[in-house]
Amino acid sequence: MVNIYVKEATSEDADAVAEMIARLKMLNEELDPHFKTVSDLESVVKKYVEEILASKDIRVLLALDAATGEPVGLLVLRKEDRIFYEPRYKAVITDFYVKSKYRRRRVGSILLEKAIDHAKDMGAGIITVVYPAGNTIAGAFYERAGFRDLQVEKYKPLY
């Protein structure tokens, strides 16, 4: 276990947030070619980060090594309205990344615990996540954390 603290990211953390989001998307590409990243990934990520940091319905949580201050993990949570269902609001984990040398040291678990606190604070009654089917590590992590299947997404390539 590593000593970390978690804070809500601000515009001053934009570069650290962007770096981890870009790494996450490149990891998805490695896992499955259907997640091939765009050629201008860096600028797309930069714009995305500006948007999520400014949104009132999105919380961007950053884990930092307490000893060094280095950003070591990231979790992005978005509140969504399930207009047809109860509980009415859900919190969706849209991006979740722990730097590789910090993995298996509870950073992900601590970030998820904090995300659950934030989800409740946002008025959500359920928390969900979607990730590439080939990401078996994420599967093991969420299984251990008590997540269960909610929906299924199928695909058929058209080209």
Ligand X SMILES: CC(C)(COP(=O)(O)OP(=O)(O)OC[C@H]1O[C@@H](n2cnc3c(N)ncnc32)[C@H](O)[C@@H]1OP(=O)(O)O)[C@@H](O)C(=O)NCCC(=O)NCCS
Residue ranges binding ligand X (CB under 6 A): 24, 27, 93, 96-98, 103-109, 129, 131, 135, 137-138, 140-141, 144
CA dist., res. 125 & res. 35, Å (int): 30
* Contact call for residues 5 and 107 (beta carbons, < 8 A): no
Minimum CB distance to ligand X smaller for 123 or for 134:
134
Shortest gap between Cβ of 140 and ligand X (angstroms)? Answer: 3
CB of 86 to ligand X, least distance (A): 25
The SS3 of residue 73 is: strand
Q: Which residue lies nearest ligand X, judged by its C-beta? A: 108
Nearest distance from residue 30's CB to ligand X, in Å?
Answer: 10
Nearer to ligand X, 48 or 141 (CB): 141
Q: How far is the CB of 89 from ligand X (least distance, A)?
A: 20
- Residue 80's nearest CA partner among 149, 148, 48, 127 is 127
Instruction: Compare residues 86 and 153 and give the one whose CB is closer to ligand X.
Output: 153
